[in-house]
Chain A
């Protein structure tokens, strides 16, 4: 006979036991298979190697000089600020959206850069040269005073050509501009007085 259940009202306990057990075991098996497959989405060793930290020799940098290096496909600016440029940082504070870099600190400003100069060594600024609005690379505007798209009391900094956001000499964004955040300070550390490593810091 091909009757399936002897009594349709009684639940067959052995079937139920094994159904539940199989279901659980199957779920465990399924998850275990899914994990390696989803892992293949993670950055490969090749991507990680390409994104490895970059060493920069800053011994030859002159005051006021800006060097750009590539890290993880992004431009990273290293600027040896002059004492005058450092002095402008206090003057711009009232015009800034986030003068103390309190917004998104874990993303934009590591602990060692949560200071006025936003850097480890006061004169060397390390910042990612990508505007926090829509990703264009701001232009250098180190000259003081009035210029097109800049206010009359411009203290020096950066102007993003795409939508007009401005940043000061510590990469901090001005108020009422399209860009919401300060420029990102990437993880970095000094291997020596002249060797800067961008992409890694002592915590990593």
Chain B
């Protein structure tokens, strides 16, 4: 038997209870490691609220979800009615429903802000690559979770959005149509699809999400948090106090617990303002068409995915047969660059040329529709590789050349423009702009190994930038 820690018999009951638990479960150890003695940089700014907010929204979605499932009916004939039942007949059901629908959009706002923080402060760089990878996996799961959740109200948008996206899988050569059939469980989106999406949305993906969030935080705590200056406060040569704690760090609890409570309060003001005064949010959070029960025989005039998917939807639509030639030119360009400029061994260069040739052959043979799916998926997958694309000498945007800042600003504007175009019906100008936008998005990442090395970086200070307040 392991050695138990003794405690004085005169100690208060609470202390004795804690001692009993600590002898069997690392409660106090975990508390110290992850809260009261987890030293986080003291210079966290506005961008550092969104991690805890994301956790809050996850909890909100789970709790409201539990209550919704008590009344929702996952049956194609009953689903739409059960949502109206929640809105009208269940006491305070309307509040639970609005919290969940607003929470879904809030989740993406918070997560996009959270990812942007990682982007500008280099939080994905060594030694935090795994934190970033777990985060990208969370993002992917979140998209799946939102997509499947959206089918559940069984409105026109729910139905046709699902129909379109599942049909995208049918564009995959050889396995596509069978794969789509397998996903749907039927020849068209129907009751079978609804039931399995319900299972995934309520149980499977939330469990995976919880596991990934735990992994994400554990990986972070293993190496410590980054900060807006990109300085490593726990480096061997970073200044520490007598107890060995980093001088630029402060215990997460109570300083950041208290800080995050403030952030939560402000967030809740915005969140509740939307829930109580504008739950539809102009048709972006609750789409108007979704108040019409799903009709497999009538497609609405204008289908668009929910706003948080629209940047990727724009990229999907941008890949027309015309655009394929531009992409082929890009592959040719990359092949030339790889052969002429890179320092790879001759053998690898030959392999690269062969692979490029094969890819170009496929691009000519297979429909643009398939490549649209590849591009859309690729836009998310490329995020996973970010830690290895960034070659800049400094982590944080604060000490990068000024023109890097403009580049990031354009990236944001580009992303927003793509999002806006995804909501609109297709148009010739929209198509051109989204094609340029798609090229910029991919160029930003794929060319990063090159452009991140350009320009004169600024000297990184030894201590974090902090003003007492």
Q: Which residues of B contact A36 (CB under 8 A)?
A: 91-92, 95-96
Q: Are A46 and B95 in contact (CB under 8 A)?
A: no
Q: Which residues of A contact B71 (CB under 8 A)?
A: 40, 44
Stretch at the interface among B103-111, B165-173, B187-195, B243-251: B243-251
Task: Kindly state the separation between the CA atoms of A36 and B275 in the bound complex, as whole angstroms.
Answer: 14
Q: Which residues of B contact A45 (CB under 8 A)?
A: 88-90
The distance from the CB of A19 to the nearest CB of chain B, in whole angstroms, is 9
CB within 8 Å for A2 and B245 given contacts A40-B93, A46-B89 = yes
Q: Which residues of B contact A149 (CB under 8 A)?
A: none
0/1 interface trace, chain A 40-58, chain B, CB 8 Å (1 if under): 1110111000000000000
Residue A17 interfacial (CB < 8 Å): no
Q: Which B-chain residue is minimally distant from A26 (CB atoms)?
A: B261
Task: Kindly state the separation between the CA atoms of A46 and B96 in the bound complex, as whole angstroms.
Answer: 18
Q: Are A2 and B261 in contact (CB under 8 A)?
A: no
Task: Kindly state the separation between the CA atoms of A46 and B82 in the bound complex, as whole angstroms.
Answer: 11
For residues 51 through 108 of chain B, which have their beta carbon under 8 Å from a beta carbon of chain A?
Answer: 63, 67, 70-71, 85, 88-93, 95-96
Residue A115 interfacial (CB < 8 Å): no
Q: Which residues of B contact A40 (CB under 8 A)?
A: 67, 70-71, 90-93, 96
Task: Kindly state the separation between the CA atoms of A92 and B133 in the bound complex, as whole angstroms.
Answer: 81
Q: Are B93 and A1 in contact (CB under 8 A)?
A: no
Task: Kindly state the separation between the CA atoms of A23 and B444 in the bound complex, as whole angstroms.
Answer: 47
Residue B201 interfacial (CB < 8 Å): no
Prevailing SS type, chain B contact patch: mixed
Task: Kindly state the separation between the CA atoms of A37 and B90 in the bound complex, as whole angstroms.
Answer: 10
Residue B114 interfacial (CB < 8 Å): no
Q: Which residues of A contact B261 (CB under 8 A)?
A: 22
Q: Are B91 and A42 in contact (CB under 8 A)?
A: yes
Q: Are A2 and B42 in contact (CB under 8 A)?
A: yes
Residue A10 interfacial (CB < 8 Å): no
CB within 8 Å for A44 and B247 given contacts A36-B95, A37-B96 = no
0/1 interface trace, chain A 12-49, chain B, CB 8 Å (1 if under): 00000000001000000000000011011110111000
The distance from the CB of B61 to the nearest CB of chain A, in whole angstroms, is 14
The distance from the CB of B207 to the nearest CB of chain A, in whole angstroms, is 22
Q: Which residues of A contact B237 (CB under 8 A)?
A: none
Task: Kindly state the separation between the CA atoms of A36 and B86 in the bound complex, as whole angstroms.
Answer: 13
Q: Are B92 and A4 in contact (CB under 8 A)?
A: no
Q: Which residues of B contact A2 (CB under 8 A)?
A: 39, 42, 241, 245-247, 249-251
The distance from the CB of B231 to the nearest CB of chain A, in whole angstroms, is 15
Q: Which A-chain residue is minimally distant from B36 (CB atoms)?
A: A4
0/1 interface trace, chain B 238-268, chain A, CB 8 Å (1 if under): 0001000111011100100000010000000
Q: Which residues of A contact B96 (CB under 8 A)?
A: 36-37, 40
Task: Kindly state the separation between the CA atoms of A40 and B95 in the bound complex, as whole angstroms.
Answer: 10
Q: How many residues of A contact B (CB 8 A)?
A: 13
Q: Are A1 and B247 in contact (CB under 8 A)?
A: yes
Task: Kindly state the separation between the CA atoms of A45 and B39 in the bound complex, as whole angstroms.
Answer: 53
The distance from the CB of A82 to the nearest CB of chain B, in whole angstroms, is 45
Q: Are A39 and B247 in contact (CB under 8 A)?
A: no
Q: Which A-chain residue is minimally distant from B96 (CB atoms)?
A: A40
Q: Which A-chain residue is minimally distant from B90 (CB atoms)?
A: A44
Task: Kindly state the separation between the CA atoms of A150 and B183 in the bound complex, as whole angstroms.
Answer: 64
Task: Kindly state the separation between the CA atoms of A44 and B82 in the bound complex, as whole angstroms.
Answer: 12
Task: Kindly state the separation between the CA atoms of A2 and B39 in the bound complex, as whole angstroms.
Answer: 10
Q: Which A-chain residue is minimally distant from B85 (CB atoms)?
A: A46
CB within 8 Å for A44 and B95 given contacts A2-B245, A4-B251 = no
Task: Kindly state the separation between the CA atoms of A40 and B249 in the bound complex, as whole angstroms.
Answer: 45
Task: Kindly state the separation between the CA atoms of A45 and B92 in the bound complex, as whole angstroms.
Answer: 11
Q: Which residues of B contact A4 (CB under 8 A)?
A: 250-251, 254
Q: Which A-chain residue is minimally distant from B64 (CB atoms)?
A: A37
Q: Which residues of B contact A37 (CB under 8 A)?
A: 63, 67, 92, 96
Q: Which B-chain residue is minimally distant from A3 (CB atoms)?
A: B241
Q: Which residues of B contact A41 (CB under 8 A)?
A: 70
The distance from the CB of B272 to the nearest CB of chain A, in whole angstroms, is 10
Q: Are A44 and B70 in contact (CB under 8 A)?
A: no
Task: Kindly state the separation between the CA atoms of A36 and B241 in the bound complex, as whole angstroms.
Answer: 49
Task: Kindly state the separation between the CA atoms of A39 and B96 in the bound complex, as whole angstroms.
Answer: 11
Task: Kindly state the separation between the CA atoms of A37 and B100 in the bound complex, as whole angstroms.
Answer: 13
0/1 interface trace, chain B 415-435, chain A, CB 8 Å (1 if under): 000000000000000000000
Q: Which B-chain residue is minimally distant from A47 (CB atoms)?
A: B89
Task: Kindly state the separation between the CA atoms of A62 and B287 in the bound complex, as whole angstroms.
Answer: 60
Task: Kindly state the separation between the CA atoms of A42 and B89 in the bound complex, as whole angstroms.
Answer: 10
Q: Which residues of A contact B90 (CB under 8 A)?
A: 40, 44-45
For residues 99 through 124 of chain A, which have their beta carbon under 8 Å from a beta carbon of chain B?
Answer: none
0/1 interface trace, chain B 324-354, chain A, CB 8 Å (1 if under): 0000000000000000000000000000000
Q: Are A44 and B67 in contact (CB under 8 A)?
A: no
The distance from the CB of B95 to the nearest CB of chain A, in whole angstroms, is 5
Q: Which B-chain residue is minimally distant from A29 (CB atoms)?
A: B268
The distance from the CB of A7 to the nearest CB of chain B, in whole angstroms, is 17
Task: Kindly state the separation between the CA atoms of A2 and B244 in the bound complex, as whole angstroms.
Answer: 11
Interface centre among A40, A41, A42 (most CB of B within 10 A): A40
Q: Are B70 and A1 in contact (CB under 8 A)?
A: no
Q: Which A-chain residue is minimally distant from B91 (CB atoms)?
A: A39
**Given B85, B92, B246, B254, which contacts A39 in the complex, CB threshold below 8 Å?**
B92
For residues 44 through 81 of chain A, which have their beta carbon under 8 Å from a beta carbon of chain B?
Answer: 44-46
Task: Kindly state the separation between the CA atoms of A41 and B71 in the bound complex, as whole angstroms.
Answer: 10
Q: Which residues of B contact A42 (CB under 8 A)?
A: 91
Task: Kindly state the separation between the CA atoms of A80 and B202 in the bound complex, as whole angstroms.
Answer: 54
| CB pairs A–B below 8 angstroms (14 shown) | A1-B241, A1-B247, A2-B246, A2-B250, A4-B251, A4-B254, A22-B261, A37-B96, A40-B90, A40-B92, A40-B93, A41-B70, A44-B90, A46-B89
Q: Which residues of A contact B (CB under 8 A)?
A: 1-2, 4, 22, 36-37, 39-42, 44-46
What are the nearest 10 A-B pairs in CB distance?
A36-B92, A45-B89, A44-B89, A39-B91, A46-B89, A44-B90, A39-B92, A2-B250, A42-B91, A36-B95
Given contacts A4-B254, A46-B89, 16 further A-B contacts (CB under 8 A): A2-B241, A2-B247, A2-B249, A2-B251, A36-B95, A37-B63, A37-B67, A37-B96, A40-B70, A40-B92, A40-B96, A41-B70, A44-B85, A44-B89, A44-B93, A45-B88
